[in-house]
């Protein structure tokens, strides 16, 4: 006699003997809602109260527009620089052995550990016209502090670990046999690098670039000291939010915050798309 | 019986030439060049700013350095920073462990979405993180009028600073533990339960020892960020000297008053914290790589 098994039912949770699901999930959802989702929803509610035209009105205000342009434009350049040098650093740290490699590897995480305000005043004093580096740059006619160049330097500082740490594990995973095969089949080392080794690294480099870019756009503490904060020249969008808040212009602050949030979520979406593409193309993230 | 092939069978070794260079690395001078570029870049962008903090802090000698810590405002800032971290870090540890337990030990619908939502604070600008709390608790905020009526102050007071700090450090513990606990699976807990342990007992004696290094690692990073957070705290603090100033905010005030030695002296305290964090972090990575993160990183 055939025993008819009950039809598999779609259920919320797979059965398990491990206890504590209700308690831990309930606690997680409660805390997440109170600490993260509710306050973010307050911002969205405020912004939707302004309507699209209200946000557009704030965004096209010349001072706001130039602050957004500085934040996004400089962050783009800084993320490019961080990605380029970050990839070199990642390659050197993973593939070569040299004295002090471990210490240098640890130093890469400094921007994660050093409070942004500390980094900010240190960069400002280094790149000021009478600072150690600023003096040298002044001789070749480059003004770093209190110009967008200073913002660029702070953003490279803050974005570098993202660029290095996303690429590094993938370089470690490279199968050396593929490189050997390429060499045996007659390719030069440069050919092997550009045609065999580097293409699979592209998704990781792009992800690191996007993370560094998003971080640079939102960064505040390490930038404001070196930027000089001249409206229309070296004023960044996060600073403008602070200024609007101090003037009790909540609507203006919310509008700028919403624009920044929208663009950083677009960047996050882009990262996910890159990773999905990478999974299809290379079989890994 | 076949003869073993010895190196002397190869003409290269006989003629005294060097064996061919490895085909899986670059030629010597390219390697040296790349290493030089990497070190020069890191030295200029990362090491130099760190050294500057200490050079500037001691620019006027030890007495001037120590004077910065004799001020009552500095004491208040140190105290507030310690209090903030002492609340925010344990809060996020409890949250992170609970979230990791629910997400890693069970299969349920919407798990990936939940992980994304927990990660959300990392992709929000610090200034926006502060702003959203002003929008909830500020005088023009959602429950601002109610708070004023009941004489409760959150924004421009210590609770706001703690809340903003919790927000910016929110994902640290959870995102470290979730992949680690997923990799460890549920077999050991199931064995403990089968042998009669209660759920809490299994957690304490089986799960906790398994995740302790990962947890310590996460606490370390969470604490560094909690003590060093500037943007979010700056928005909700109101900068009231001696009352709502954390160490990073104190650094800013001193710097803006052109009191550079004192500013860098206080900053050197935070830089020292960063260095200690980096050293312990590296030691943990070298010794316990397998126990910290899923798919142990190679070093």
Q: What is the pLDDT of residues A114-127, one digit of tens each?
A: 999 999 999 999 99
Nearest-CA neighbor of A145 among A212, A215, A230? A230
pLDDT tens track for A247-271: 888 889 999 999 988 888 888 788 8
What pLDDT is stored for residue B15 in this prediction?
47
What does the alpha-carbon distance between residue B154 and residue B151 come to, in Å, rounded to a whole number? 10
Residue of A nearest to B49 (CA): A122
Q: Which has the higher per-residue pLDDT, A15 or B39?
A: B39
* Residue A230 binned pLDDT confidence (cut-offs 50, 70, 90): confident
Nearest-CA neighbor of A96 among B39, B287, B18, B290? B39
Here the tokens at position B180 are: 């680690």
Cβ pair B201, B272 in contact under 8 A: no
pLDDT > 50? residue A284: yes
pLDDT > 70? residue A6: no
With CB atoms and an 8 Å threshold, state whether A21 touches B102: yes
User: Which segments in chain B show pLDDT lower than 70?
Assistant: 1-21, 294-299
With CB atoms and an 8 Å threshold, state whether A225 touches B260: no
Strand-pair partners of A13:
B108
With CB atoms and an 8 Å threshold, state whether A36 touches B170: yes
Q: What are phi and psi of A269, to 5 degrees?
A: -60, -45
Closest partner residue to A183 among B23, B109, B271, by Cβ?
Answer: B23
With CB atoms and an 8 Å threshold, state whether B229 touches A241: no
The arithmetic mean of pLDDT across residues A240-245, rounded, is 92
Q: At what angle do helices A250-282 and A38-59 cross, to 10 degrees?
A: 100
* ipTM surpasses cut 0.95: no
The distance of A1 to chain B (nearest Cα, Å) reads 34
Size of interface A-B (CB pairs under 8 A): 294
Q: Which has the higher per-residue pLDDT, A22 or A15?
A: A22
Q: What are phi and psi of B61, to 5 degrees?
A: 95, 175
What does the alpha-carbon distance between residue B116 and residue B171 come to, in Å, rounded to a whole number? 10
- Say whether residue B29 is in contact with chain A using an 8 A CB cutoff: no
What pLDDT is stored for residue B6 in this prediction?
53
| DSSP structure class, residue A201 | G
Percent of chain A with pLDDT over 70: 95
What pLDDT is stored for residue B1 in this prediction?
43
What pLDDT is stored for residue B121 in this prediction?
92
What pLDDT is stored for residue A7 in this prediction?
58
The arithmetic mean of pLDDT across residues A87-99, rounded, is 93
Nearest-CA neighbor of B87 among B136, B168, B177, B159? B159
pLDDT > 70? residue A89: yes
What pLDDT is stored for residue A281 in this prediction?
81
Half-sphere exposure of A141 (CA within 13 A, CB side): 0
What pLDDT is stored for residue B187 in this prediction?
92
Residues from chain A that touch B42, judged by Cβ atoms under 8 A, are 89, 104, 107-108
The distance of A236 to chain B (nearest Cα, Å) reads 12
The distance of A61 to chain B (nearest Cα, Å) reads 20
Scan for tokens 């949770």, then name that residue: A13
pLDDT tens track for A62-82: 999 999 999 999 999 999 999
The arithmetic mean of pLDDT across residues A198-210, rounded, is 90
**Which one of B20, B32, B42 would you mutate to disrupt binding with A, by most A Cβ within 10 Å of its Cβ?**
B42
What does the alpha-carbon distance between residue A68 and residue A260 come to, in Å, rounded to a whole number? 8
With CB atoms and an 8 Å threshold, state whether B46 touches A160: yes
The distance of A275 to chain B (nearest Cα, Å) reads 15
Q: What are phi and psi of B60, to 5 degrees?
A: -105, 20
pLDDT tens track for A157-188: 999 999 999 999 999 988 888 888 988 898 88
**Which one of A39, A192, A260 would you mutate to disrupt binding with B, by most B Cβ within 10 Å of its Cβ?**
A39
| Chain B residues 220-259 within an 8 A CB cutoff of chain A | 221, 224, 227-231, 234-235, 247-249, 251-252, 255
What pLDDT is stored for residue B13 in this prediction?
44
- Say whether residue B12 is in contact with chain A using an 8 A CB cutoff: no
Cβ pair A139, A147 in contact under 8 A: no
Question: Is residue A12 within a helix (H) or strand (E), and if so which, with residue range?
Answer: none
Question: Is residue A218 within a helix (H) or strand (E), and if so which, with residue range?
Answer: helix A202-218
Residue of A nearest to B228 (CA): A115
Query: Going along B5-138, which residue ranges are E strands?
Result: none
């Amino acid at each position: 006699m055939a025993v008819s098994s009950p039809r598999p039912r779609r259920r919320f949770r797979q059965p398990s003997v491990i206890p504590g699901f209700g308690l831990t999930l309930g606690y997680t959802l409660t805390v997440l809602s109170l600490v993260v989702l509710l306050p973010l929803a307050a911002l969205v509610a405020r912004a939707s109260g302004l309507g699209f035209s209200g946000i557009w009105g704030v965004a096209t205000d010349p001072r706001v527009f130039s602050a957004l342009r500085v934040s996004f434009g400089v962050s783009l350049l800084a993320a490019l620089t961080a990605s380029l040098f970050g990839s070199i650093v990642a390659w050197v740290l993973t593939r070569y052995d040299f004295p002090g490699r471990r210490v240098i590897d640890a130093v890469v995480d400094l921007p994660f550990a050093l409070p942004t305000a500390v980094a900010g005043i240190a960069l400002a004093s280094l790149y000021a016209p009478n600072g150690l580096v600023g003096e040298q740059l002044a001789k070749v006619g480059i003004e770093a502090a209190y110009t967008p160049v200073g913002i660029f330097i702070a953003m490279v500082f803050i974005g570098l670990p993202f660029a290095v740490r996303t690429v590094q594990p993938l370089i470690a995973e490279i199968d050396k046999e593929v490189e050997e095969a390429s060499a045996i089949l007659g390719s030069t080392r440069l050919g092997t690098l550009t045609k065999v080794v580097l293409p699979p690294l592209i998704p990781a480099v792009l992800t690191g670039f996007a993370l560094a870019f998003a971080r640079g756009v939102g960064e505040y503490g390490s930038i404001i000291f070196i930027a000089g904060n001249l409206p229309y020249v070296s004023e960044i969008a996060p600073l403008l939010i602070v200024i609007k808040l101090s003037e009790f212009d909540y609507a203006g602050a919310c509008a700028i915050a919403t624009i920044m949030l929208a663009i950083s979520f677009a960047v996050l979406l882009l990262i996910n798309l890159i990773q999905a593409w990478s999974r299809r193309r290379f079989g890994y993230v | 019986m076949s003869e073993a092939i010895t190196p002397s069978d190869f003409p290269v070794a006989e003629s005294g030439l060097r064996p061919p260079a490895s085909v899986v690395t670059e030629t010597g001078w390219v390697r040296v060049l790349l290493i030089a570029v990497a070190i020069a870049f890191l030295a200029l962008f990362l090491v130099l700013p760190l050294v500057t903090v200490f050079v500037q802090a001691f620019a006027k000698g030890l007495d001037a350095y120590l004077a910065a810590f004799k001020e009552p405002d500095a004491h208040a800032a140190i105290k507030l920073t310690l209090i903030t971290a002492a609340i925010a870090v344990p809060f996020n540890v409890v949250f992170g462990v609970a979230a990791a337990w629910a997400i890693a030990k069970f299969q349920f619908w919407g798990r990936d979405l939940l992980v994304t939502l927990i990660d959300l604070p990392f992709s929000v600008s610090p200034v926006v993180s502060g702003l959203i709390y002003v929008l909830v608790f500020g005088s023009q905020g959602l429950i601002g009028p109610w708070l004023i009526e009941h004489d409760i102050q959150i924004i421009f007071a210590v609770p706001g600073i703690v809340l903003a700090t919790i927000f910016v450090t929110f994902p640290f513990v959870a995102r470290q533990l979730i992949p680690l606990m997923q990799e460890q699976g549920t077999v050991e807990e199931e064995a403990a339960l089968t042998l009669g342990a209660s759920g809490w007992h299994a957690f304490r004696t089986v799960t906790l020892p398994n995740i302790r290094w990962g947890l310590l690692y996460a606490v370390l990073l969470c604490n560094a960020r909690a003590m060093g957070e500037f943007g979010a705290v700056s928005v909700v603090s109101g900068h009231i000297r001696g009352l709502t100033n954390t160490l990073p905010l104190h650094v800013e005030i001193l710097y803006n008053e052109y009191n550079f030695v004192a500013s860098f002296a206080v900053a050197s305290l935070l830089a020292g914290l960063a260095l200690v964090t980096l050293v312990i972090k590296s030691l943990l990575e070298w010794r316990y790589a397998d126990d910290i993160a899923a798919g142990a990183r190679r070093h």
